[in-house]
Each structure stands twice: as C-alpha cells, then as structure tokens.
Structure 1
C-alpha cells in the first residue's frame, strides 16, 4: 500500500509462504490453514483495514482466542500500517474493558466473522512511527502498563530463537499462551517465520490443566513455551494413562523463577525434551537472556544465563525498601545494602510506555534514545561463578516486617523446594504488615505441617501464616495474581468480608 512502511514480520512470513505454499501454517479449531491460504487471508484483512482509511500507527483491537483465523488478522493489520492490540476474549470482562478504554482503538477486527468494525472512538490513539504492536503488562504488581513494541524487535528475537533451537520447516509449535500478553508472539512467530506449524490450543484446553499433556502428545508438539508453575499444574492434573509427549524436543521456560525441581519433574514427563530458561521484561521485547539447563542441574533457582546478541547487562546498586504493611512496586530508599538492580540495554527493545498508563518514575526507568532501549528493571540480580545472571527476585520483594527486612522471594524459594508444593506466593497484608505464604498442592488441612521444614530453612524470615489453596489464583498470562491474593487474604484490602479458607 502506498505510503505505508513495510512490516519486517509480514515480509518474513511472505517469504516463507512463497517457499512452502502448500504446507500447513496454522492448525486449530479443526482447521489446517496452509501458507498459501494464510497469505490470502492476510491480504483480505489488509484490504479490510485499508477500507477503514485510518492513519498509519492507529491502534486496532484484534479479538483473539482459539480460532485459527486471528493470526492472519494480526498480519493484515500490520501490512496496512496499523498497530494491533491482541485481546483475549477469555479474559475477565473488566480487564478487557479497561484495556480497550485505555488503548482507544479505532476499530475492532473480528476474525471469526471477518468483520472490521469502527469503534466510534472520539479520540483514537495513534502511535509513533516504528510502533509494531501494543501490549499491556500483566498487572501482577499493580495497574497494567501499556507498552509500545516494535515489529523489528520481535523479529530479532525470533531469528535468534530459530537459530538457537535449530528449527526448520514443519516444526510443530504450541500456542498455550493468552493472546493478550506479549509472550504469545514467541508462539505465533516462531513457526510462521521458519516454515513451521502453529498449533493453537482451544480455550478449553488452556483452561483445563488435565487436558494439556494429552493435547501436546496428540498434536505431536515439538516446541513449547511455558511458565514453570503452570507446567507443575499440568503434571499434577495429568491422568495416569496420559501418553508422554515424545515428540517434544524443546521446552522453553520463562515468566517466573525456574527451580531444579521443576526441571526434573518436567524431564520425567518429557524425557526427550531439552530445557531452556529465558528472561526479559516486556519492555525489552520477549527475552534478552538465555540459559540451556543441563541434565545435572541443581535443585534450586536456575540462572537465566547470558545476554542475547546485542543486549547488554548492567548491575547497579539499588536502594530498596518497603513501608510495613505494604507490598510496593516502587523502590523507596532505606533498604539493605548490596542490592543490585538489573539493567538491560538493547537495540531491539520497545519504544516505551503509553504515557497515561504509568507514573514519572516508570518513565524515568524506561528510555529509548537513538533506537536503543534502556530499562532499569525492578528485578534483583547477581552473577554466579560462571558469569551467568541469576534473578533473585524483585526489588519490592524486600519488605519490612516489624522493623526487619524479609526477602519474600527467598520465602517462596524455600516453599518451592518442598515436595508437596507445586507453586508458592508470599504477600504482605496492607492492614497488618503480616506475611502470608500461599502454597498450591498440599491439602489445606495439613498446611500447618509445612511450618516446621520451612522454619528450619527460613528462621526469623518465617511467614506469619501458611495458607494452602487447591489452585493458586493466576493472571491470564500464568503468573500468580498477587493483588488478588492480598484481597482474598485481607478483607480490608478487598473492601469486603471475604476470608481465606
């Protein structure tokens, strides 16, 4: 289209499709879409978007779920010079509403019906040149922030991952991730930029832990991106007769701390799979650190490894602390000495935050100058003896309880080391300042039995309470919902009389 800058992601998919037109590109919902058909659908969406006569850089919402038609809608919007916001229709309605209200899209693309409908938004958002997609952070620590990503940054990571995993045409890649979070672009683009097959799990599979391993085996999935605690939930729920996913060659973990016990359990279920650990905030695009986990890995926290090509790691002193009674996402002064903040610099990062979705401190920590993005993260890190980065937790995981600092990330690590615990999350209650450890896995009736082994490891850092839940409340991206836990455990925080069971 005249006047519309080319999108590198779309160009790459077109090149792949020209070489493999008859091969399957997208599989899901009972359909198999070839690369030839994917290009045809992309062109149709490009034409529909052009008919809207929107300015380049205008935000459009793409409704995405289990339907295999939405990848073409995303590509068509990019081909038309628009900035897609993927919206997972399975998310809670209030989050969808909040995101759409904040994003102010000019149109909604409905892949299931083939419709591109103007929203009538009186002040539609138009993003600067270079914007390739809009995504919102998970909100695990507070209000979700809008992040303006670059398509070139997506492609830089995808090219690295294709080479690192040695992928080629026909490789079957799973999509089990919510489309509303940026990590879904690993699932989406890894196969489509290498001639592979994108297998989209139905919403019912994503929502049913017992269905995941049978789905992986039944579809012959070869590459999987996963969150560690979700993988533990899948393993615990899998029926005893579940066949092993023997086709799985690569399992790539990200999004949460990865412990050796997660790795060993996963390898027992998928013995032919290599395991890798990725790290990288959404602000720096998908991932910027990589670690191949060896077969003899230790039981504890695994490194995230070395920077990807072009990325630079910085560790700077960081004052951090917290007022008693609050889990805070800022970093006020007064914390323990020697804490190091992880700083990531990359030529392939985002363009920054939507200005009305973050505060001045957030904007100061994320800068983009001359095409280089620098992000002063809220993560604490150290280098191990091999020079690999180990992320110890967030700066705000150092909280003050009755005048003494406690590292809630260490509390969670100690709990994660217990055999019966699938996942753990420690929060501080605003009303009392108490620390409550929430664990998934053990029977709630025997949660008290966890206190003795935990105390042996934690000593004075022992939480005030241990609560066992059948299922940890999660955000759609798979991370623990800390804000939701605080509301569940603290009626004053929730504003009602709900009590933890």
Structure 2
C-alpha cells in the first residue's frame, strides 16, 4: 500500500481493543495474502469473509484482494441472511478471521469471477429477493478517489465505520481512511446496534467523517438528544430520501459539519451523484445532485403512472458493477442491468427529474405509485408529508390491499397519531392514507433503511388479530 509506505508509523485502525499502525496493518494483510495464495484457489475465486466483530475485517479484505481472489463480506451477526447469502453465493472457500484459516467449501460449482471483479455484495432485499452483485474493483477505487478529493481529506482524518459488513456501503467506511492516510475507527457491535451509543461514541473518538442513513441517524439523535459532536466535519447521507428538516436537526448535534447527500444503487457502485446541502436549506426533500465524472442520467417513461412529473431513472457509467451473479436474479433484472464495452447501464427502480439547478431529484420508487380504488396514490409523497411534521422522526407508507393504504410513523405516541390526520389531509388531499399508525420505532433493515416488508408483515398480523380480512 502506497499509503503505508508514506506513513508507516501513523495510526491506521482503531478498535475497542487498541490501535494498528499502517506498518502493522500491512503485516496482517501480507499474512492473509500468503494464506490465501497457499490455498491453491484459482484467481477470481469467490471467498466468503464472515466479519465477526469487524476488527479483523480491513486486513482480511485487503489480503483476499492482494491474493487475486474476490471477497464476499458476511455479517455473521445476521445468521439468517448470512446463511442465505452463502447458499446463493456458492463461495469456493470461507476465510475464518478468528482462527486465521482458509476453509475450502468443497462446492463443485464454487464461483470464479471475471478479471476486474473487486467484491461481491448482495442487495438489501428492500426491493425483493436479495441479488448478488459483482462489484468492479476499478469502480470502487474511482468512487473512493472522488470522495477523497471532494472532501479534501488529509492524513490522520478520523473516519467512522458504523455500517454492517453485509452491505457494500461498508467500503466507503473501510477504504476512505485507508486510501488517504487517515484513521479507520471501527465501532463495536455493541455501539452500532444501540442507537443511544452512537453519538457519544462519535464524540469520544473525535470522528471527523461519518456515512449515515437518514432514518437511522434520526434514531441516534432521538436516543442521545444532549450529545454534541463538535469534531464532525463531513456527514454523508445516502440510502433514503433526505429532508432539510432532518439536516437542521443533525447540524444542531454536529454544528461544524458539512452535509452531502449521495445517491447510487449498488448496481452502479456506492454512489454516482452528490449534492452539498446548503447551510440555509429548504425543509423539504433535498436533491441528490449532479453526476460524478463519467456518469450520465437519462429517463424512461413510466407506463400508466398517472403523472409525468417524475420518470424512471437510468444511470450509465464506466464505473458501475459487472453484473449480477447468475441464478440470483430474474430475467427482468438482467434486462435492467447491462454491462457492455466497459460501460454499465442500469434502469433503476427510482423516479426522478432534473431541477432548475441541474440537480437530480429522486421522488421515490416506481412501485410507490399504487392504485387505490381506481386512482393513483404516491406513497413517497405521503411519507414526505409525514416527515415534515414536527413530531415525526421517520415514516413508511405501504399498501396492504387496493383499498387500504397505511402510514406508519415513528415518533409520536400511539394516541397522538390521530392528531396527525388534519395536517396530513391539508398537505395530501386525495393522497391521504386510509389509516395512520404510530410506533415507537420502525423496523429497519440491517443497513439502516426502513424494512417495508417487515412493516407489511406487522400490519397484516394486526389485521388478522383484529379479525378483519387482510
């Protein structure tokens, strides 16, 4: 690593159990590289890396890559998802970070991936069955180089790793500091899984850069309302719509932070759009900004959508993924994601438009336009109106039947939910949901996004308990 050669004695990794210098990290990477090389696996073989508590992850990931193999990070604290990922991924071997061993799986059809593959990640499942995505090594480094330059990072910058290793956005946390001579601070599971612990941990470690999902960070604020993180200089949000109202709340807890809104599906590698939120921002939905170098956006019409304001977003980039793993996706998925002549074209599931400032605005998913009793309802618009209310931290709107659209909000007490109907009706008119329910906390996916399918299952159980037909 060039960074290690320039700064061998600088701190590279900080965990709950101590620190590693760049020289220490390189030695660990070389040990993993040599173990992988001695396994006899052919170049491009897929190797699963269960992450444990995350402390050994940087060296293990870099060691697998140095050996010419392709890592699949697995969060073994999510056993059901981990088992599903391993079954679908069919890795040729498993790297055991706790024992230092490489265990061949013996699978006769273990995956071997093409040159240029940098990692494999499975989608979150928020839009259906998780799909295996072959990430581009060059695309990953292109994004990290862009982010380092955009933020102007210098050696010694402290970057938080709070993301579950099961999702590709962990590579922003992992590689941003290590490619810029900074310090990677890895939060223990006892921190990243307890919302009240996150802001105090950020303050204790004097973190300067953090990547976050809006709804999850709203929970951090709610559970540690008196904590201020004065050290935080850069906050990068992604994964969900970002509202100016949340940015204002976040800046009260981190008064010196710059806020950037990122957008890009896993299929296009980490993020392909960025927007710096101004100090005096509108309280509503924030744009996701302009495309990164080499990226272009076009739009497809949405059939029978009931609106022409927003169209289906199509992203073209040389730095996108190499495609899906065979047998983990549908024919429609393969049609939406194509890699040809060094360029990835992905027809996303999102609706968007370009505003007067040439910034891309994402209004919601294509499937958030639903028909209720013969007319269209925009579930994303309902969520935006709910999130604008002072008492609401997060919101998720789902359709259970063609006559039952339900808004579930996090924040107000169950009794207070009835008081939300009047302001919501004033904002939404005919898009007003049939029911409004309040819960202490929305179910979230491990990556921090709202778990829509989990919410639908809870609502269907409630309907069954009430004796009404779902």
| TM tier, smaller | over 0.9
Which residue is 1:364 aligned to?
335
Within 2, Cα distance between the matches of 1:499 and 1:128? 54
**Aligned partners of 1:319 and 1:336 also within 8 Å:** no
Is the CA contact (8 Å cut-off) linking 1:41 and 1:72 kept in structure 2?
Answer: yes
> Per-residue displacement from partner, 1:220-269 (whole Å, max 9, x unpaired)?
100000011111100000053x3x21111000111100000110000011
How far apart are residue 130 of structure 1 and its match?
1.4
Corresponding residue number in structure 2 for 1:448: 418
Deviation at 1:492, TM superposition (A): 10
Distance in 2 separating the partners of 1:139 and 1:357: 12
Alignment of 1:319-330 (within 5 A): 319=303
The superposition leaves residues 137-165 of structure 1 with CA deviations (integer Å, 9 ceiling, x where unpaired) of: 11012101110001111100000000000
Residue 485 of structure 1: how far off its partner (Å) = 0.8
Give the drift of 1:445: 2.2
Q: Which residue of 2 aligns with 1:401?
A: 372
For 2:81, the equivalent position in structure 1 comes to 95
Residues paired across the two proteins, number: 468
Deviation at 1:491, TM superposition (A): 3.5
**Deviation digits for residues 474-495 of structure 1, max 9, x if unmatched?**
10100011111111111499xx
Q: Which string of whole-angstrom CA distances, capped at 9 and with x for unpartnered residues, describes residues 155-182 of structure 1?
A: 0000000000000100000011111101
Q: Deviations over 1:379-410 (max 9, x none)?
A: 11111111111000111110011111000000
- In structure 1, the residue matched to 2:231 is 247
Indicate whether 1:162 and 2:148 are aligned. Answer: yes
**Cα shift at 1:339:** 4.1
The residue correspondences of 1:393-432 to structure 2 (distance < 5 A) are 393-430=364-401
Give the match for residue 328 of structure 1: none
Change (3 A) 1:122 1:440: same
Q: Distance in 2 between matches of 1:65 and 1:261?
A: 36
> Which of 242, 264, 286 is matched with 1:302 structurally?
286
Residue number among 123, 135, 143 corresponding to 2:129 in the alignment: 143
Of stretches 432-441 and 347-356 in structure 1, the one that deviates more from structure 2 is: 432-441
Aligned partner of 1:127 among 104, 113, 119: 113
1:258 and 2:242 correspond: yes
1:110 is displaced (CA, Å) by 1.9
Show CA shifts across 1:345-401 (max 9, x none): 111000011121111111111110111001111111111111111000111110011
- TM-score, normalised to structure 1's length? 0.91
CA contact (8 A) 1:58 1:126 kept: yes
Shift of 1:318: 2.2
* Separation in structure 2 between the aligned mates of residue 499 and residue 426 of structure 1, nearest angstrom: 22
1:56–1:82 CA contact under 8 A, matched in 2: yes
Determine the C-alpha separation between the residues in 1 that align with 2:101 and 2:230: 40
Greater Cα shift, 275-284 or 483-492: 483-492
How far apart in 2 are the matches of 1:470 and 1:444? 8
**1:76 match:** 63
Distance 2:303 2:163 in 1: 35
Deviations 1:307-363 (A, max 9, x none): 011111112222255xxxxxxxxxxxxx54454111111110000111211111111
Q: Which runs of 4+ in 1 moved over 6 A?
A: none
Quote the residue 2:192 is aligned against. Answer: 206
Matched residue, 1:16: 3
Q: Check conservation: 1:317, 1:338, Cα contact below 8 A.
A: no
What is the CA–CA distance in structure 1 between the aligned matches of 2:399 and 2:366, rounded to whole Å? 14
Report the CA distance shift for 1:117/1:427 in structure 2 as closer, same or farther (over 3 A): same
- Residue 373 of structure 1 corresponds to which residue in structure 2? 344
TM-score by length of 2: 0.97
